[in-house]
């Protein structure tokens, strides 16, 4: 059976790399196989050893030196070079006999989502068997305005990449129980979100409506957000269950 691919995507520092590794360890503890793939050519001091590493093909600091580019120009060149090498990367990945391929994407999210090369990368690596795990950063999503902004970003990623998406509330251990519940409520009830916006954000209440929020959900982002933590292990099982549901209609790997 083809391996299932989960892309961990989100804004800089939201916890993608840590969660990729934590989820791999969780899978292994449950007796499943999962490999990790680092897709960030600019990653420095990666805290886990990826099984496959894009830096074996493309390295940001080498591109900066070789072409005399700054970090942003080099990121764009790196994204294109990644696409040029992706068939070889796919071949290496397919050499692993594994249930899950967990892909850790670059911190500069716009490079992964907006460049045409990302579509090439996605179709070569995972074809139809992909789900995007979109991480909401709790430092941003804890305010109503930040939550709506995060939702818009998630919708943009979904719209751009056209893959099924799970929305995860990253680093949930940093939030109080009350904050977690409030954010979960927002994800399930746009009227509650709009109420919080109107009560708490003087600038934002005039131009956001329930219809606007519903439209974001129609694109395919949104839905019930799942709190996850690499530190406490909260929600790791939910990622598995949801990914199984999306990719296999709920069947368990073993069945
Ligand atoms: N408390 C807590 N901290 C976390 C968790 N996950 C990640 N962190 C911390 O958040 C910081 C960023 O984590 P990373 O995993 O590097 O985030 P990232 O999204 O991969 O970052 P970039 O690739 O640079 O965009 C680190 O200091 C992590 O230790 C978590 O579940 N709980
Ligand atoms: Mg990272």
pLDDT, tens only, 70-96: 988 999 999 999 999 999 999 999 999
Round to whole Å and give the CA distance between 6 and 134. Answer: 10
Residue owning the nearest CA to atom 8 of ligand 1: 15
Token couple for 138: 């709790």
Mutate to test the pocket of ligand 1, among 15, 48, 150 (most ligand atoms within 8 A of CB): 15
Beta strands in the chain (DSSP E): 4-10, 34-38, 52-53, 100-104, 130-136, 165-169, 226-227
Name the residue among 130, 79, 128 with its Cα closest to residue 101. 130
Q: Is 171 in the pocket of ligand 1 (CB under 6 A)?
A: yes
Tell me the CA–centroid distance for residue 137 and ligand 1, in Å.
10
Please report the pLDDT score of residue 202 as a whole number.
Answer: 63
Determine contact, residues 215/239, Cβ cutoff 8 Å.
Answer: no
Q: Is 2 in the pocket of ligand 1 (CB under 6 A)?
A: no
The helix or strand, by DSSP H or E, that contains position 177, with its residue range, turns out to be: helix 177-188
Please report the pLDDT score of residue 255 as a whole number.
Answer: 40
Q: SS3 for 204? A: coil
Handedness of CA 82, 42, 110, 154 (dihedral sign): positive
Q: Is 235 in the pocket of ligand 1 (CB under 6 A)?
A: no
Ligand 1 atom nearest residue 230's Cα: 31
The DSSP code for 31 is: T
Please report the pLDDT score of residue 218 as a whole number.
Answer: 78
Q: Is 107 in the pocket of ligand 1 (CB under 6 A)?
A: yes
Q: Is 11 in the pocket of ligand 1 (CB under 6 A)?
A: no
Categorize the per-residue pLDDT at 1 as very low, low, confident or very high, splitting at 50, 70 and 90: low
Ligand 1 atom nearest residue 228's Cα: 31
Residue owning the nearest CA to atom 5 of ligand 1: 171
Write the Ramachandran bin of 13: left for phi over 0, alpha for psi from -120 to 50, otherwise beta: left
Round to whole Å and give the CA distance between 200 and 144. Answer: 8
Name the residue among 143, 166, 189 with its Cα closest to residue 242. 166
pLDDT tens profile 183-210? 999 999 988 998 898 887 665 555 677 8
């Amino acid at each position: 059976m083809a391996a299932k691919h989960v892309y961990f995507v989100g804004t800089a520092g939201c916890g993608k790399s840590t969660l990729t590794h934590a989820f791999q360890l969780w899978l292994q503890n449950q007796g499943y196989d999962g490999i990790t793939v680092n897709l960030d050519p600019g990653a420095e001091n990666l805290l886990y050893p990826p099984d496959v590493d894009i830096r074996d093909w493309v390295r940001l600091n080498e591109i900066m030196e070789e072409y005399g580019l700054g970090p942003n120009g080099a990121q764009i060149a790196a994204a294109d070079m990644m696409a040029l090498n992706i068939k070889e990367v796919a071949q290496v990945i397919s050499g692993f006999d594994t249930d899950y391929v967990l892909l850790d994407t670059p911190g500069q999210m716009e490079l992964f989502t907006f460049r045409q090369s990302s579509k090439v990368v996605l179709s070569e690596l995972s074809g139809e068997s992909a789900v995007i795990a979109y991480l909401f950063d709790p430092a941003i999503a804890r305010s109503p305005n930040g939550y709506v902004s995060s939702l818009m970003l998630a919708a943009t990623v979904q719209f751009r990449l056209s893959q099924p998406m799970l929305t995860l509330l990253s680093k949930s251990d940093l939030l109080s129980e009350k904050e977690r519940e409030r954010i979960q409520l927002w994800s399930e009830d746009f009227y509650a979100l709009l109420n919080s916006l109107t009560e708490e954000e003087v600038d934002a209440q005039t131009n956001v409506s329930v219809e606007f929020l519903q439209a974001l959900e129609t694109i395919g982002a949104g839905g019930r957000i799942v709190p996850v933590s690499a530190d406490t292990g909260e929600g790791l099982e939910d990622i598995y269950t949801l990914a199984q549901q999306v990719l296999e209609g709920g069947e368990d790997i073993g069945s």
